Chains A and B, each alone.
Chain A
Amino acid sequence: MNFHAIRAIYVFEMARAGRTLLQSVVSPVLSTSLYFVVFGSAIGSRMADIDGVSYGAFIVPGLIMLTLLMQSISNASFAIYFPRFTGTIYEVLSAPVSFVEILTGYVGAAATKSVILGLIILATAAVFVPLQINHPIWMLGFLVLTAVTFSLFGFIIGIWADGFEKLQLVPLLIVTPLTFLGGSFYSIDMLPPLWRTVTLFNPVVYLISGFRWSFYGVSDVSIGVSLTMTLAFLALCLITVWWIFRTGYRLKS
């Protein structure tokens, strides 16, 4: 294992985040606060409790997941896309590092950043609604697992993208709808049966459901299924990245 290389990439990426600290923290915190004001307080005050959880509290896990997914993807995709774009990627490609080490460095840093941000959002939420976390270890576990999985997904997008448009298209066109339709703002039990079945093909449902369970002990699907689906998506991403480095797809001609 080339630990010096992992450390070099990780430190480089964290330093990059440090330079843009304000914008990477302020904007998600601001938008989450707005969600709480609008959905939590204004609309939520007129909504009935869901599974015995007040609406304001109910949306907390979903909102954290929304930020976590978006940030993980954009952090990791940008981290690998930018060196490809400027050409500095040559150094990583010519270094004595395996794809596992490259991944650990880039994805590790991206996931670290989004976990930190997730915790900041959690703290922000606590300002608006009384928080209750029944299974804190599971909560952290889901947070880290999701951050890692979607940073990996972002890494793949950053390699696949051949322009800045594509880099932003996927989070915008795929992840946002999946998150909104994944039960961030409602329980999927509230959907008509047909739509409930359709929703079960949305991977984000399992993340949000499992994450919400760690807070309130209630969930749309069982925790075991949530965990399995998340791990399956993680495995799928890992296989894709392995294939990318094996073939040199979009990295080597």
Chain B
Amino acid sequence: MHPVISVSRLSKTYASGHVALKAIDLEIRRGEIFALLGPNGAGKTTLISIICGLVNPTEGSVRADGHDIVRDYRAARAKIGLVPQELTADAFETVWATVSFSRGLFGRGPNPAYIEKILRDLSLWDKRDSKLMTLSGGMKRRVLIAKALSHEPQILFLDEPTAGVDVELRRDMWNVVRALRDSGVTIILTTHYLEEAEEMADRIGVISRGELILVEEKTALMRRLGKKVLTVQLPAALARLPDSLANYQLALSEDGTELVYSYDAAIEDSGITALLQDLAREGIAFKDLHTEQSSLEDIFVSLVKDNR
């Protein structure tokens, strides 16, 4: 199947001379949730802004649903909805008016039933006649999402959608995002909350200093780079590690009641069997044990560090 978005050799140098994107190649698959991860200033917003027509590319091209975003901008943009990073709103407009405005702007005829549905899904229905300036930041964010969805886009960009957003909105938002994905909408989001990418995304792209370091299935990424940690709880404190265990990646907790073993989850022989046998041979009993997957955050931090 053709990618719904294909970015090729895309570069951006701002007028200040700052190079924000360096020859980015990226393909987004139809119907996936794609998370773009990167530290502040990595170029996430720049990339999204170029695709949506807010920033001129310096080099390279982008196709959205087969349409070149510059030459065939009408067809391309009609497919795209954008929730920007910054909270901006027409203070004196009502929720209903501003969402209806967006639909018209994107070339769609009025459809009050559809707008009602969006507002209900985003818990905005009670606020439909409120002026935007009377709404809280979280509510404004909902309005921006409603505006982006007003013209029934096939591709939705969410630029750091949960920055400064409360738990309730985050939950609502993910429900909406999942429902959209189920209805075939492709979603591209950027986020600082890495657990979110881990929770939501099908694929993850890591961007740093204008370069796309890697793009991978989330599960594959977790498997490939995922370190696991086995914690063994001891019934009695151990003064020090026996010498026979010296060649394991093993650490003793401060109070001596826990052994922490790090291993690579991707390798066939994790070494756990041998470790447990060696522990038994040393006469060390254990009360309990559990394993933990290292978080995407750990993976991410190590990736960006390697890239420097």
Contacts and interface: CB of A to CB of B under 8 A. Distances in A.
Interface of A: 2, 4-5, 7-9, 11-12, 15-16, 19, 83, 86-88, 90-98, 248, 252-253
Contacts of A5: 104-107
Contacts of B73: 96
Interface stretch (B51-59, B173-181, B235-243): B51-59
Contacts of B14: 253
B53 A19 contact: no
A93 B97 CA distance: 19
Contacts of B101: 8, 11-12
A242 B97 CA distance: 29
B84 A7 contact: no
Contact of A94 (B82, B88, B92): B82
Interface string B94-108: 000100111111111
A8 B104 contact: yes
A90 B84 contact: yes
Contacts of A91: 102, 105, 147
27 contacts: A2-B74, A4-B103, A4-B105, A4-B108, A7-B104, A8-B100, A8-B101, A8-B102, A11-B101, A12-B101, A16-B92, A86-B89, A86-B91, A87-B86, A90-B88, A91-B102, A94-B53, A94-B54, A94-B77, A95-B77, A95-B106, A95-B107, A96-B78, A96-B107, A97-B107, A98-B74, A252-B56
Nearest to B102: A91
B254 interface: no
B75 interface: yes
Contact of B54 (A2, A11, A19, A90): A90
Contact of B82 (A9, A11, A88, A90): A90
A91 B74 CA distance: 14
A2 B15 CA distance: 32
Chain A residues touching B, majority SS: helix
B95 to A, nearest CB: 14
Interface string B190-203: 00000000000000
Given A15-B97, A91-B102, A95-B77, A2 B88 contact: no
B90 interface: yes
A96 B106 contact: yes
Contacts, number: 80
Interface string B65-84: 00000000111111010101
Q: Which of A93, A97, A253 has the most CB of B within 10 A?
A: A253
Contacts of A87: 84, 86, 88
Given A87-B86, A88-B88, A9 B105 contact: yes
Contacts of A90: 54, 82, 84, 88
Given A11-B101, A12-B93, A95-B106, 18 more contacts: A2-B74, A4-B105, A4-B106, A8-B102, A8-B103, A16-B92, A87-B88, A88-B90, A90-B82, A90-B88, A93-B54, A94-B52, A94-B53, A94-B77, A95-B105, A95-B107, A96-B78, A96-B106
A50 B77 CA distance: 58
B105 A97 contact: yes
Closest 3 CB pairs of A and B: A8-B104, A87-B88, A96-B77
- Centre residue among A2, A5, A16, A88 by max chain B CB count within 10 A: A88
A198 to B, nearest CB: 39
B112 interface: no
B217 to A, nearest CB: 29
B80 A94 contact: yes
A95 B150 CA distance: 12
A2 B97 contact: no
Contacts of A4: 103-109
